[in-house]
C-alpha cells in the first residue's frame, strides 16, 4: 500500500468511525414522578464520543401540554429530545425553559423554534452576546454532532414567581452565582426541583461565569426549599440534599485554596497541582475542572490580595 493509499484509508476510517458516523444520542427519558421525565447526561467533558451530551434535560407532561426544561447541546440533541417526547405523549409542547446561558443547555433551541422559549433577562442577553462563541467552541469539542446547529434566542422573559399550567404549579426562582442568571424551577405539584447548574452531583462544578459568593447564597436558598426529588444540572437525581452539600463543599474548598494561595504569594502555576481531600478529588473530571477554575477565578482573587497589600504598605 502506497503512502497516498494509506492516508486515504485513514481518512475514510476516521469518517466512518463512531465519532463521525451516524449520530444517535440514545436519549432515554426516565420517569421520576407522575408525568415528569429526566434525560441524564454523562458525567464527562464534551468530546467526540458523547457529542456534548453531559447535561440533564427534562420535561413535564401537563393537562395542557408539555413543558421542556433545557434543550441540550446541539440541534441534533434538540431534535432527538423532541422525538423522545413524542414517543411518550401526544400532548403538544407548549413551553421551553432555558435555565441559563451555557451551551449544553441551550444549543438545542433550534429544534423548538416554533415553541415559546423562556429565560431570565440576563440569560437572554448572555446568549445574544456569547452564543456564537459557544457554538464555535462546541464544534471544536464535539465535531460532527454539531452539524447544522445555530444559536436561537429565547423569545420570552421569565419573571420569578408562580406559573400554573395544566394542573402543575411551578415556582420559578431567579438566582445567580453559577452564571449571571440561574433559573431554578420547583414543581410544587410533584415536589420535583429542577436545580439546573446551581447544583452538581458527583461531578466537579464548572466556573467560567461563576461568582462563588453569590453561588453560595443560591445554595442557601435551594437548601431551604421543600422538595421530594432534586434534579441537578449534572449527575443523578436524588431524594436528599447530598448534591447541594457536595457543591457547597467543593466551592468552599476551592475559594479557600485560591485565597490562601494569593495571600501567601503562590503563583498560578503552583496552584495547578492540587492536594484536595478525597471527597473532592474523587468527583468526576476533577483535575481538568479544578485547573480551569484556577484560570477562571485566581487572577481576580490574586489582584484583590495584592491591592490590599499595597493599601497596608501605604
pLDDT given for residue 313 in this prediction = 52
Tens digits of residue pLDDT in 86-119 = 999 999 999 999 999 999 999 999 999 999 999 9
Provide the pLDDT for residue 2.
59
C-beta of residue 197 within 8 angstroms of C-beta of residue 233: yes
**Interval 147-157: pLDDT, tens:** 999 999 999 99
Q: Which of 94, 98, 140, 146 is nearest to 123 (CA)?
A: 98
Q: Is residue 259 part of a domain?
A: no
* 313 occurs within a structural domain: no
**Are 170 and 187 a contacting pair, CB within 8 Å?**
yes
Taking the CA atoms of the chain, what radius of gyration do you get in angstroms? 21
DSSP 204-218: PPP-TT--HHHHHHH
Residue 198 lies in a domain: yes
- Give the CATH number for residue 35: 3.60.15.10
Flag whether 61 is in a domain: yes
Range of the domain at 232: 3-240
Q: What is the pLDDT of residue 306?
A: 83
> SS3 of 123, please?
helix
H or E segment to which residue 259 belongs: helix 242-263
Q: What is the pLDDT of residues 235-265, one digit of tens each?
A: 999 999 999 999 999 999 999 999 999 999 9
Task: Calculate the dihedral angle through the C-alpha atoms of 275, 279, 285, 287, rounding to the nearest 10 degrees.
Answer: 0
pLDDT of residue 143: 95
Instruction: Please give the pLDDT value at position 69.
Output: 98
SS3 content of the chain, % helix, strand, coil (to 5): 40, 20, 35
Q: Is 303 contained in some domain?
A: no
For residue 145, the 8-state DSSP code is G
Nearest to 135 by CA among 107, 101, 98: 107
pTM of the model: 0.91
Residue 17 pLDDT:
44
Establish if 254 belongs to a structural domain.
Answer: no
pLDDT by residue, tens only, the chain of 314 residues: 554 544 444 333 344 344 445 489 999 999 999 999 999 999 999 999 999 999 999 999 999 999 999 999 999 999 999 999 999 999 999 999 999 999 999 999 999 999 999 999 999 999 999 999 999 999 999 999 999 999 999 999 999 999 999 999 999 999 999 999 999 999 999 999 999 999 999 999 999 999 999 999 999 999 999 999 999 999 999 999 999 999 999 999 999 999 999 999 999 999 998 889 999 999 999 999 999 999 999 999 999 888 865 545 54
238 secondary structure, DSSP code: B
Domain tally for the chain? 1
Instruction: Judge whether 143 lies within some domain.
Output: yes
Strand partners, 157: 119
Residue 115 inside a domain? The answer is yes
Amino acid at each position: 500500500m502506497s503512502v497516498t493509499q494509506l492516508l486515504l484509508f485513514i481518512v475514510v476510517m476516521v469518517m466512518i468511525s463512531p465519532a463521525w458516523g451516524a449520530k444517535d444520542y440514545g436519549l432515554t427519558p426516565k420517569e421520576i414522578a407522575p408525568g415528569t421525565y429526566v434525560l441524564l447526561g454523562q458525567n464527562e467533558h464534551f468530546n467526540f464520543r458523547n457529542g456534548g451530551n453531559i447535561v440533564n434535560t427534562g420535561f413535564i407532561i401537563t393537562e395542557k401540554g408539555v413543558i421542556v426544561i433545557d434543550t441540550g447541546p446541539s440541534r441534533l440533541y434538540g431534535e432527538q429530545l423532541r422525538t423522545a417526547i413524542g414517543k411518550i405523549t401526544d400532548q403538544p409542547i407548549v413551553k421551553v425553559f432555558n435555565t441559563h446561558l451555557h451551551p449544553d443547555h441551550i444549543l438545542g433551541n433550534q429544534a423548538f423554534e416554533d415553541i415559546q422559549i423562556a429565560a431570565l433577562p440576563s440569560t437572554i442577553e448572555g446568549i445574544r452576546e456569547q452564543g456564537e462563541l459557544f457554538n464555535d467552541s462546541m464544534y471544536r469539542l464535539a465535531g460532527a454532532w454539531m452539524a447544522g446547529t445555530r444559536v436561537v434566542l429565547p423569545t420570552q422573559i421569565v419573571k420569578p414567581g408562580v406559573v400554573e399550567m395544566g394542573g402543575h404549579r411551578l415556582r420559578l426562582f431567579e438566582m445567580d452565582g453559577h452564571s449571571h442568571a440561574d433559573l431554578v424551577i420547583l414543581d410544587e405539584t410533584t415536589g420535583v426541583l429542577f436545580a439546573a447548574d446551581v447544583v452538581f452531583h458527583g461531578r466537579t462544578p464548572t466556573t467560567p461565569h461563576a461568582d462563588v459568593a453569590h453561588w453560595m447564597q443560591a445554595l442557601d436558598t435551594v437548601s431551604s426549599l421543600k422538595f421530594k426529588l432534586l434534579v441537578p444540572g449534572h449527575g443523578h437525581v436524588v431524594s436528599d440534599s447530598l448534591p447541594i452539600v457536595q457543591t457547597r463543599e467543593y466551592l468552599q474548598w476551592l475559594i479557600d485554596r485560591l485565597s490562601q494561595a494569593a495571600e501567601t504569594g503562590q503563583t498560578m502555576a503552583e496552584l495547578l497541582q492540587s492536594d484536595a481531600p478525597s471527597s473532592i478529588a474523587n468527583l468526576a473530571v476533577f483535575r481538568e475542572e479544578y485547573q480551569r477554575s484556577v484560570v477562571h477565578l485566581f487572577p481576580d482573587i490574586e489582584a484583590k490580595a495584592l491591592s490590599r497589600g499595597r493599601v497596608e504598605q501605604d
